[in-house]
A and B are shown apart, each in its own frame.
Chain A
């Protein structure tokens, strides 16, 4: 590994893509992409979920082959035929999902891939690792089982693995998605040290801030196409805010504006749609209980629940939806007590719950998109008659919902787990906001979504309230609550510690409540 200067001007591409196209059934994942990757440079690939970033990485790391176009390595066209080939060419990849064997130790994972007839060269590895970690300022526990490491530590092991294998190009796929803010900063500093040693880095992210903070060059992908590039010279000339607004321009074709405000009248004189009084839930081993939860929501009102994650938000949502047993208190929907009703009966009456666990409890991943729209009506007319599925009816209605909610899916028959997070959320929204909804509970509705889907989901929630429904919006994103709610209640240790009107000083008041001070 050379430790030459960080200057990248005039260097030749290690890897270049020319007109690379990759198709999958129903979609063009990459459409004629050009890319140049140079030593000493962090090249950020920025794009929304489904923009084609992962496919691009698949082709660079030998997992997939392009349908058209070519990949040049050191200026020569060369198909990258397998992961082994990619490694031999000096292309190391840290995948979005950890690629370590949890039951093996760090050392064993690093040794994986040696010729099978050899004894693992443990001593040689230890020396090599010591040399690399010293130059990068990392500490790695070689003899710890991978399953015992934190996600950040596992990621360092993966980066280390690429270095042990003499990679010249390091690809980091959505590497910050599972890290703490501190971990993200550390990764940024590590990337800087690596490029200073002459490495090329491709850094994939959908977060604008990280792109602006860590990159030297940014390429923006949108729906499989490269829509723009900010070269290093330009990058250095611009401030962070200018870069961000330029990227937003590239990604969305217009300046990012808050969606147009919907005229929404909260009728203060109307009777509350949802009244919760002294709701309580017993604590369990791994979750706090709830106590003294009381609030009302008027028709057309959005009540926010703010708080640090894990303070009983999920318990509150589940208790209201009927999924969790309560130990006291009352829940009234349009004045009628519903606390004794089952999940299904509450839904029937118009209480809808949008879970934050979209794949786990929200959908059945292997079922087609069409059935997932009606999961909560299985057996009910008109989609089922006498216990028999009415496929034509289901498909007709599902096609309608796909159009209405702009669900991007190859077909109605596609298993829902194959869709991106944003599109799965649209399926859930379509299902829960269907006929008869009166009160809707949203639990972290934009968690893990990209910007476009986040904005679309927020708009959908505003529209819901504008239709005169009562909305309970549970979120750990204070900005989100401040931009949408009429009132914000703060939950701490399973109790509501205060409720504030969303006026100009709401941020301070909510913040004080969240850290345990009086508003």
Chain B
């Protein structure tokens, strides 16, 4: 038991928490943008899976993680394109299409993986860490937070970029108007469909990137159903964050700690059944929803397809 509170253990735990949090963060930020613009994007799990598979394939054959991230984001965008076409342009039900996309991509990525790699699970080499000088020398915190792949720092920087986008730019105003009162945006001369399409495609790119990170950096390999609900956790984060990116970051870190704890506790050999430990993150979701569910304030037009002139 002494190992449980050692410095090494703690920093490994926190390191794992960050690694687990990044896909959630990217999914949450992506989902937040869709929701802000009035699209409930339940297909995000499918977008992450597409990103994980294509990201892995891209990195595996090219040998470049960055190319993997790129193909992963492209995979997410491809799925988002379907969502944008069906739900935003044609105006079909967002929940039905979202579930269909998620289920479809679960099957499709598993199938493709089977064809491609049969039963083998090839691994990628460990990702290079970008070590931040000085900061990484701090005990516990240094190794936990400042020895990650560059994309991790970029993802955190994205939180602040998003805040700026929402609060200080014309596009941010347009996105919020598209979610709260699309008719007002339309009569102000901005195309609601286009605004929402931009949001959904961005969601796809971020979710795809998150999926690629999960496979390429988090796990180092692709296995079917690898996302294991990360997209849905992203939806929860976005709903609880009240449109503020910084809260997505906090929420993602909290879930990350839970996810990391499950691994750490198994490693530490604590005498609790594995199944119970693996429930932890989802227990955390439930506790969060009970505690903060009430504060979720969603855009007025969330989930309602926009049709010009409809009453």
Contact = CB atoms under 8 A, between A and B. Distances in A.
A8 B177 CA distance: 39
Interface in A103-140: 103-104, 108-109, 111-120
A84 interface: yes
A128 to B, nearest CB: 16
Given A119-B168, A120-B170, A103 B308 contact: no
B309 A58 contact: yes
Given A84-B190, A120-B169, A101 B174 contact: no
A83 B171 CA distance: 18
B184 interface: yes
Interface in A172-228: none
Contact of A99 (B173, B174, B183, B299): B183
Interface in B278-311: 299-300, 308-309, 311
Contact of B174 (A116, A417, A418): A116
Contact of A112 (B184, B308, B311): B184
B189 A87 contact: yes
B202 interface: no
Contact of A101 (B169, B180, B191): B180
A297 B311 CA distance: 42
A405 interface: no
A112 B185 contact: yes
A484 to B, nearest CB: 33
A111 B187 contact: no
A57 to B, nearest CB: 11
Contact of B173 (A58, A102, A111): A111
Contacts of B171: 116-117
Contacts of A61: 187
A111 B169 CA distance: 10
B76 to A, nearest CB: 22
A119 B169 contact: yes
B168 A113 contact: no
B189 A101 contact: no
A116 B170 contact: yes
B25 to A, nearest CB: 25
Specify which of A100, A101, A108 lies most central, judged by the most chain B CB atoms within 10 Å of its CB.
A101
Contacts of B176: 101, 103-104
Interface residues of A, number: 32
A113 B181 contact: no
B181 A100 contact: yes
A113 B180 contact: no
A65 B309 CA distance: 11
A235 interface: no
Interface in B231-264: none
Specify which of A82, A88, A112 lies most central, judged by the most chain B CB atoms within 10 Å of its CB.
A112
Specify which of A61, A109, A114 lies most central, judged by the most chain B CB atoms within 10 Å of its CB.
A114
A103 B183 CA distance: 14
A101 B301 CA distance: 11
A295 interface: no
A101 B185 CA distance: 8
Contact of A63 (B180, B299, B308): B308
A464 interface: no
A109 B184 contact: yes
B89 to A, nearest CB: 16
Given A84-B190, A111-B170, A118-B170, A64 B184 contact: no
B188 interface: yes
A93 interface: yes
B170 A115 contact: yes
Contacts of A111: 170, 173
Contacts of A119: 168-170
B234 to A, nearest CB: 23
Given A112-B188, A113-B188, A102 B174 contact: no
A114 B170 contact: yes
Given A83-B188, A99-B183, A101-B181, A112 B309 contact: no
A104 B187 contact: no
B187 to A, nearest CB: 5
Nearest to B181: A101
Contacts of A161: 188
Given A102-B181, A104-B173, 10 more contacts: A63-B187, A63-B308, A84-B190, A88-B189, A101-B176, A101-B184, A112-B174, A117-B170, A119-B170, A120-B170
Interface of A: 58, 61, 63-64, 82-84, 87-88, 93, 95, 99-104, 108-109, 111-120, 161, 417-418
13 contacts: A61-B187, A83-B187, A83-B189, A84-B189, A84-B191, A88-B189, A101-B181, A102-B180, A102-B300, A104-B173, A112-B177, A116-B174, A417-B311
Interface of B: 168-171, 173-174, 176-177, 180-181, 183-191, 299-300, 308-309, 311
Shortest 7 CB-CB contacts between residues of A and residues of B: A113-B188, A84-B189, A112-B188, A99-B184, A116-B171, A101-B181, A113-B189
